[in-house]
Amino acid sequence: MSNKIRRMGRFFRVLKIGILAVPLLGLAACSGEQVVMPPDAPGVSRSEEYSFGSATQAQDWQATKKVLDQLEGRFGEKSVRILARNLDSTTNPQSIKAYYAERLVHQAGWAEMPVSPFADSAWAFAFVSPSGKRVLAVEALNPSEGAGGIVPLNILTNLDEDKGSNG
């Protein structure tokens, strides 16, 4: 009888440890997902209104839609929002990619995800979180497609915005 009681006591100790350990492991696994939207890259600015004509707007939407369709296919329909920005047309797209790679890949362990831009009039790149649940993609028209020294740039993401950031 005492062996049976000892085995049951050991069973309940292991059960208690498991009950406490599972939520802690879950919290540790989710801790990498706390990345918020990084501040805008150098050369990227916000505008109160859309600064481009209808022809550029149509090209911009086609390019954005091409990337959006790829992201929604993986992350779910209506899960990704579009943040419209302006890009200084003299800014090198590789510097924009390097800026986000530093914040997401090097600091948070994200990986690059292949995306196809729209024809030759745009460029795009994307990064996905280690769990595969979060994404940040950037799409912009080539400098020759813009006017006034700026081109449309769109950030497509399901990340939360950093409410403390003013950039």
All residue ranges of the chain with pLDDT < 70 are: 1-34, 162-167
The two tokens of residue 52 are 């481009």
Residues 12 and 86 in one domain: no
Coil, strand or helix at 152: strand
For the segment 71-117, what is each residue's pLDDT rounded down to a tens digit?
Answer: 999 999 999 999 999 999 999 999 999 999 999 999 999 999 999 87
Residues 27 and 88 in one domain: no
Residue at 46 is within a domain: yes
Q: For 33, left (φ over 0), alpha (ψ -120 to 50), or beta?
A: alpha
Label residue 152 left, alpha or beta by phi (over 0 means left) and psi (-120 to 50 means alpha).
beta
User: Would 118 be classed as within a structural domain?
Assistant: yes
Domain match, 140 and 71 both:
yes
pLDDT attached to residue 27: 35
Q: Which domain holds residue 67?
A: 35-157
User: Does 124 fall in a domain?
Assistant: yes
In a domain, residue 164? The reply is no
Q: Based on the structure, what is the number of domains in the chain?
A: 2
